[in-house]
Amino acid sequence: MENFNFYSPTEFVFGKGRAAEAGHFVKKYGGSKVLIHYGGGSAVRSGLIDTVKKSLDDAGVAFCELGGVKPNPRDTLVYKGIDMCREEGVDFILAVGGGSVIDSSKAIAIGVPYEGDFWDFYSGKRIEKALPVATVLTIAAAGSEGSGDSVITKEDGMLKRGAGSDHLRPKFSIMDPSLTQTLPAYQTACGATDIMAHVFERYFTNTTEVEITDRLCEAVLITMIKETPRVIAAPDNYQARANIMWAGTVAHTNLCGVGREQDWNSHGIEHELSGLYDVAHGAGLAVIMPAWMEFVHDHNVMRFCQMATRVFGCQMNYEDPEATALEGIRRFRTFLRSIGMPINFEELGAKEEDIPTLVEKFGVGEGTTGGFMKLTAADIAAIYKIAAHASL
């Protein structure tokens, strides 16, 4: 195990009906004028925005609001949010929605106290300060409710890039699993896929002697394999929703990743797909992650055997470990298909002829990328190619 710091200062406020406490928590963390930021309308239709507004009124906290965040959130709305916060004297941002709304809120939070273009931070500039951000989460997926990350798409060129800092970790996140019961099955499955991917990005490591984090990762994965089909079959299953929602947070606070080198190539490779085609991040991962696994499995066959046996219940074949590794990957892809995810380019809406563009946008140039197995531009092209043609 390597040395590490673990910093996860967010107060998680979990359970049914907790959104009514938003005002109390905003006050607790020093907000006096709040921007309520939300998406395309699901939070309005469900009555959640009204609940949050009433809670702020009851706590005597002033607010303004900005809706309209799209999935794969855009820089254009971020600029609008920054202007609004400056005009209205906003000192606290409350994201009511999923990863896209939270990430847009984080981008506004960095942009308000910065004189330059907020996009500088998505081009590598170090984040020194931000307005405080908090969340009322409506989908278990990105883990942004507990992470210091934000991913924004620049509309001009559809360039999807991330920024990260502990300044972006939410002050509090209200997590009511019943709010996720209105999700379409497809979005639920996209979220589940993203949660599993956040674990796999950490699970595949070259660091040895990380039993505790291995076992935490496996617990999250096994939970997702058990609970996801239950909520697809019965969307109002509160207990299964609750397990998935907490799994999503545990998967991405980095609790599962400390003390070890991590990979993150699948995310980078996927972000080019959701950037170019504006598809859901989780759906893109369903296509990319098993393809990445197939491409890299012989870098450490025994680690893939560990996944296959401990997570997917495969029998270890000691005479042919590679067969066990590949069976584990096959079961992962089969699981993704069973919850309604696409598994190849055609099902996702991507085109094989765009592979050179995707690789170019990824921008690895002559270098390499990734923590588990270093990949060149040719390797990334090969992974897109596997993903393009994948089948069961």
Per CB under 6 A, residues contacting ligand NZQ are 39-43, 71-72, 97-101, 103, 138-139, 141-144, 147, 149-151, 179-180, 182-183, 187, 190-191, 194, 252, 267, 281-282
Q: Would you count residue 263 as binding Zn ion (CB under 5 A)?
A: no
Least CB distance to ligand NZQ at residue 220 (A): 14
Q: Pick between residue 74 and residue 331 the one whose CB is nearest to ligand NZQ.
A: 74
194 vs 379 by CB, closer to Zn ion: 194
CB 118 within 8 A of CB 165: no
Q: Output the six-digit token pair for 147.
A: 């992470």
Interaction partner, residue 179 (Zn ion, ligand NZQ, none; CB < 5-8 Å by kind): ligand NZQ
> Which three-class secondary structure state does DSSP give residue 206?
coil
Which amino acid is residue 193, in one-letter code? Answer: T
Report the nearest approach of ligand NZQ to the CB of residue 277 (Å).
Answer: 13
Question: Of 31 and 191, which has the nearer Cβ to Zn ion?
Answer: 191
The answer to whether 203 touches 148, Cβ cutoff 8 Å, is no
Q: How far is CA 192 from the centre of its chain?
A: 10
Site size toward Zn ion (CB under 5 A) is: 1
Question: Which of Zn ion, ligand NZQ, none lies near 43, with the C-beta cut-off 5 to 8 A by kind?
Answer: ligand NZQ
Task: Identify which of residues 37 and 303 has a Cβ nearer to ligand NZQ in the complex.
Answer: 37
Buried b (16+ CB within 10 A) or exposed e, 174-194: bbbbbbbbbbeebbbbbbbbb
Please answer whether residues 199 and 221 qualify as being in contact, where contact means their C-beta atoms are separated by less than 8 angstroms.
yes
Residue the block writes with tokens 């397990």: 243
How many CA within 13 A on the CB side of residue 50? 5
Nearer to Zn ion, 194 or 227 (CB): 194
- Output 264 or 304, the one with its CB closest to ligand NZQ: 264
Contact 309, 316 (CB under 8 A): yes
Residue 275's binding partner among Zn ion, ligand NZQ, none (Cβ under 5 to 8 angstroms by kind) is: none
CB of 151 to Zn ion, least distance (A): 8
Least gap, CB of 141 to Zn ion (angstroms): 8
Shortest reach from residue 50's CB to Zn ion, in Å: 30
Binding piece for Zn ion, criterion CB under 5 A, among 31-39, 66-74, 176-184, 187-195: 187-195
Q: In terms of CB distance, is 162 or 340 closer to Zn ion?
A: 162
Task: List the single partner that 41 binds among ligand NZQ, Zn ion, none, CB under 5 to 8 Å by kind.
Answer: ligand NZQ
Give yes or no for residue 21 binding Zn ion (CB under 5 A): no
Residue 26, both tokens? 């905003």
Residue 342 interacts, among Zn ion, ligand NZQ, none and using kind-specific CB cut-offs from 5 to 8 Å, with: none
Output 121 or 264, the one with its CB closest to Zn ion.
264
Please state, in angstroms and rounded to a whole number, the distance separating the CA atoms of residues 202 and 251. 9
Q: Give the Cα separation of 147 and 166 in Å (integer).
A: 8
**In the block, residue with structure tokens 């089948």:** 391
When CB distances are held under 5 to 8 angstroms depending on the partner's kind, the choice from Zn ion, ligand NZQ, none that residue 141 binds is: ligand NZQ
**Can residue 194 be called a binding residue for Zn ion (CB under 5 A)?**
yes
116 φ/ψ sector (left φ>0, alpha ψ -120 to 50, else beta): beta
Whole-angstrom distance, CA of residue 233 vs CA of residue 186:
12
Q: How far is the CB of 271 from Zn ion (least distance, A)?
A: 9
| Cβ 205 to Zn ion shortest distance, Å | 17
d(CA 219, CA 336): 18
Which listed range, 10-18, 51-59, 192-200, 230-238, lies at the site for Zn ion (CB under 5 A)? Answer: 192-200
Tell me how far apart the alpha carbons of residues 115 and 125 are, in angstroms, rounded to a whole number.
13
Secondary structure (3-state) at 96: strand
Closer residue to ligand NZQ (CB): 75 or 194: 194
How far is CA 176 from its chain centroid? 18
H-run or E-run covering 113? none
By the criterion CB under 5 A, which residues form the site for Zn ion?
194
